[in-house]
Amino acid sequence: MLGGQTVLVSDTATLPVPEPIELPLSVVPDWDARVTRANRLMRLIDRHLDYEAYGRCLLESEELTPMALCSEQRVSLLTDVRAIVT
């Protein structure tokens, strides 16, 4: 349908024409707020890992991951993450 009209393809078949879509598409209404929260969360995790890596005197080629943290450090990290997420 073109503005409510049907387009005639041949004498025996008609195809509806789709309605136009407004662009740009609204994907996530609060996108900026989500990006800000994600950036704060990543900064927090990076700081935790940097602090622990500094204390362990890792080589430059080594990177510390959350899985390498002990239980107490993981709980501390998750507590801080939970404070930011909520």
| Structure confidence at residue 12 (pLDDT) | 60
Q: What's the mean pLDDT when you consider all of the chain?
A: 76
| Structure confidence at residue 19 (pLDDT) | 82
Q: Where are the domains of the chain?
A: 26-85
Give the tens place of pLDDT for each residue, 64-85.
Answer: 777 777 888 888 888 888 887 7
Q: 28-32, 59-63, 74-78: lowest mean pLDDT where?
A: 59-63
Give the mean pLDDT of 25-40: 83
What is each CA distance from 21 to 17, 60, 77, in whole angstroms?
A: 12, 51, 44
